[in-house]
A and B are shown apart, each in its own frame.
Chain A
C-alpha cells in the first residue's frame, strides 16, 4: 500500500472548522440550537435517548466545572496565594490550623479540569454531526436509525470506540495527565522549602531549565556528569550484552558442540530468577565484607578488601560487568533463533574464501543480526538509559560524591531523579531532569524509527 502524504495538522484543523461553519449555515433552527444546547437536534427529531445522552453530558460537564473544577482552575495562574496558617488559640491553648490554598491540589485538579474539556469537545462534535445528519435524513424523507441500531454500530462500524474508550481513559488518567502535571511542575519551584499546604509554590518560568544547564554551577556539573556517565553506561551495557550474548549463542550453536540444550538451560536459569533477587544477592557478595573479598583475602590474593562498589572506577566497572552477567542470557536466548536463520550458503562461501571466524562474525553474523534486531537494540539502549534496577540495587548510585548535588558516581539520570524526589522532595528539579531524559530518548527513538522504516512496513499485511 502506498503511503499517503498527509496534510499538516493546522490545515486539517482549519478544514474541520470550516465544516462546522458550513453545517451551521445549512442547519435549521434545531441544528443551530445544538451548537449551544447539546442534544437539541436529536431530541427535536425524536431520537430521545440519544438527545438525552448529549444533554446529560453537557449538564454533567457544567456541574463538574461549576461545582468542582472552577474552584481550582481560578487559582491556576498563581497556584494559590494564602498558605495554611497556624494560629494560637488562647481559649484552648493549642495551635489551630486555618486552611489555605494548596498549590499541589490546585495544579493537579486544574490539569484534570482542563483535560475534561477534551471529552466535552468530542461529545459536542458528535452532537452537532448527529443533529446535522438527522436533519439531512429528514429533508430527504428517510427514516432515522433508532437508538438500538445506533448502539449496535458500536459493535461493528464504530467498534474502535467501544474497544478504545476504557484503555484511553486509563491511559489519560495514569500516564498522560500525570506526565502533563509533571511537565508543569518543571516550571514551578516545588521543592523542599515549598511544600504545600504549609508553604505554597508558584510559577518560575524557565528558571529550572536555566539552573540545570548553566545558572547553578552545582546543578549543571551534576547534570553534565551524570548525563555523561548515563551515556557511557548505556553504550557499554547495551553493546557488551549484545555482542557477548551473540558469541555465547554462536558457541552453543556451533556444529559439533554437544549437550546444546543443557548449556542453554544453564544460562536461562539465571533469567528465571527474579532480577531484583540476583542483583541484591550479587551486590551483597561484592561488599567489603562480602564473600568475594573474604575469599580473595583468605587466598592471600589481596591484603585489604577491594572496594568493588565503593570506589568510583571500580563501581562503574562492576555495574557493567554484573549487567553482563544479568543480561547475556537474554541476548543468547533471543539470538539463538535468529542465528539459525542465517542462510548457510553465506557461511559456506566465506569458509571457501578462507575467512577466519572473526572475519565471518564481523562481515556476516553481525550485519545480519543488526538488520533483524535493530529495533530491539534501540529499545534496549533506551531501556539501559532508564535502567533503574541494576544501578539502584547494586550501588544505589554510590559512591556518593560532593561534586554532584545529591548524586553518586554511578547514578544514572533516572536514579538521580528517584533520589531527588524520594529523598530530597525536589520535584521541580526532578521534573526538569525528566523532561531532558524525554528529549534524549525521543531524539534517539525517532532517528532509529525513521531509519528502520517500520512505519512504512506496518501496512504490508493489509
Chain B
C-alpha cells in the first residue's frame, strides 16, 4: 500500500471500493448475458446434431430423442449428398493449396524483404493494385479459362485458384522478416553463405511462427470458402467441398429432412478448424497487428 492511500480518509476509500464492486458486478452481468448470446447458437448446433426428430426447429429446447444417426447417416446415406467425399475433397484441396501457398508466400515475402533489385518497388505496387480488385472478378475469367482448357468443375482448378493469389498475400510474412536483424545476413554473407543459403538456414528457422501462421491460414481457407467453389463447381455435386455441400443441405427443399444432418456435418467441420485455430491464435494476433504488440 502506498503512502497516499494510507492518508486517505476512511469514508472516501470505502465509497471507492463499493463503487468498484458495483462496476465489477455490472461487468459480470454484461459478460454473462453476452456469453449466453454467443454460446447459445453453438450449443443449439451441438444439440441439434444429436436430435432424433427431423426439421429445422423444435418447439422445445432439449430434444426428446437423442441419436447418433445424424452422424452415421452422413457417412452411410450418400446417394444425394456424399459428405465423406466432400470432406476428402476439402482435405485434399486444403493440403495441396496449403503446401503451394506456403512456399510461394514465403518466397515472395523473403524476396521483397531481403533482396534489393530494380523492379522491387514496381512489383510491390502492382501487387497492391491487383489486391484491390474484388477477387470475385478474376474468378469469372478463371472459370472461362478453365472451361477452355477443360479443367472446369475439377479439384485441380480449385487448388490453382486458392494458391494462384499467394504472391499477393505476403504482407504478414514480409513484416515478420523485416524484423529479423540484417546483421545476421551480413555475418552469413561474410562466412560465404549465398542468399539461397541465408533463406534456408537463417530466415526460415528463425521465423517458424510465421511459417506456421501462413500454412494454417492457407489450410483453413478452403474449408471456409464458399463463393469460389460455387462458381467453379456449378452443379457437379461430386466435387463440392464441405461449405457448398452443407449449404445445399439446408436449401428450402431439403432443410426439413437434412437439417439435423447439416448440424452434424457442421460439427465435424468445426472440430479440425477449432483445433487449428486454438493452435494459431497467438500468431493470428501478431499477424493482424503486424507485430505492433511488441511495441
Can you list 9 A-B contacts (CB < 8 A)?
Answer: A105-B148, A164-B108, A177-B141, A185-B141, A268-B277, A333-B285, A337-B289, A418-B136, A427-B140
Instruction: Please tell me which one of the listed residues A105, A170, A263, A274 contacts residue B164 in the complex, with CB atoms under 8 A apart.
Output: A170
CA distance A431 to B141 in the complex (A): 10
| Any B CB within 8 A of the CB of A438 | yes
| Any B CB within 8 A of the CB of A437 | yes
CA distance A192 to B295 in the complex (A): 55
| Any A CB within 8 A of the CB of B270 | yes
Cβ-defined contact, B165 with A160, below 8 A: no
How many interface residues does A have (CB within 8 Å)?
95
Contact with A along B102-121 (1 / 0, CB 8 A): 00100110110001010011
Chain B residues whose CB sits within 8 angstroms of the CB of A174 once the complex forms: 138, 142, 160-161, 164-165
| Any A CB within 8 A of the CB of B10 | no
Q: Which residues of A contact B (CB under 8 A)?
A: 6, 104-105, 108-109, 155-157, 159-160, 162-164, 166-168, 170-171, 173-179, 181-182, 185, 248, 251-252, 254, 256-257, 263, 266-278, 280-282, 284-285, 287, 289-291, 294, 298, 325, 329, 333-334, 336-338, 341, 372-373, 375-376, 382, 386, 388-389, 392-393, 414, 417-418, 421-422, 427, 430-431, 434, 437-438, 441-442, 445, 449, 458, 461-462
| Complex interface: stretch among B36-44, B67-75, B209-217 | B36-44
* Contact A168 to B167, CB < 8 A, known contacts A175-B138, A273-B42, A461-B182: yes
Cβ-defined contact, B132 with A445, below 8 A: yes
Cβ-defined contact, B59 with A298, below 8 A: yes
CA distance A256 to B26 in the complex (A): 12
Contact with A along B281-295 (1 / 0, CB 8 A): 100110011101101
Q: Which residues of B contact A (CB under 8 A)?
A: 20, 23-24, 27-28, 30-31, 34-35, 37-39, 41-42, 44-45, 56-57, 59, 104, 107-108, 110-111, 115, 117, 120-121, 123, 126-130, 132-142, 144-145, 148, 160-161, 163-168, 178-179, 181-182, 194-196, 199, 223-224, 226-227, 230-231, 243, 246-247, 250, 255, 259, 262-263, 266, 269-270, 273-274, 277-278, 281, 284-285, 288-290, 292-293, 295
Cβ-defined contact, A251 with B27, below 8 A: yes
Instruction: Please tell me which one of the listed residues A177, A251, A268, A427 contacts residue B30 in the complex, with CB atoms under 8 A apart.
Output: A251
CB distance from A324 to the nearest CB of B (A): 10
CB distance from B235 to the nearest CB of A (A): 12
Q: Dominant SS at the B interface?
A: helix
Instruction: Please tell me which one of the listed residues A109, A160, A421, A441 contacts residue B117 in the complex, with CB atoms under 8 A apart.
Output: A160
What is the chain B residue whose CB lies nearest that of A111?
B141
* Contact A442 to B164, CB < 8 A, known contacts A269-B39, A270-B38, A462-B182: no
Cβ-defined contact, B195 with A159, below 8 A: yes
Cβ-defined contact, B231 with A422, below 8 A: yes
CB distance from B135 to the nearest CB of A (A): 8
Instruction: Please tell me which one of the listed residues B41, B168, B231, B281 contacts residue A333 in the complex, with CB atoms under 8 A apart.
Output: B281
Q: Dominant SS at the A interface?
A: helix
Cβ-defined contact, A338 with B138, below 8 A: no
Cβ-defined contact, A170 with B104, below 8 A: yes
Instruction: Please tell me which one of the listed residues B31, B168, B270 contacts residue A273 in the complex, with CB atoms under 8 A apart.
Output: B270
What is the chain B residue whose CB lies nearest that of A386?
B134
What is the chain A residue whose CB lies nearest that of B175?
A458
Chain A residues whose CB sits within 8 angstroms of the CB of B288 once the complex forms: 334, 376
Cβ-defined contact, B31 with A159, below 8 A: no
Instruction: Please tell me which one of the listed residues B31, B130, B255, B262 contacts residue A179 in the complex, with CB atoms under 8 A apart.
Output: B130
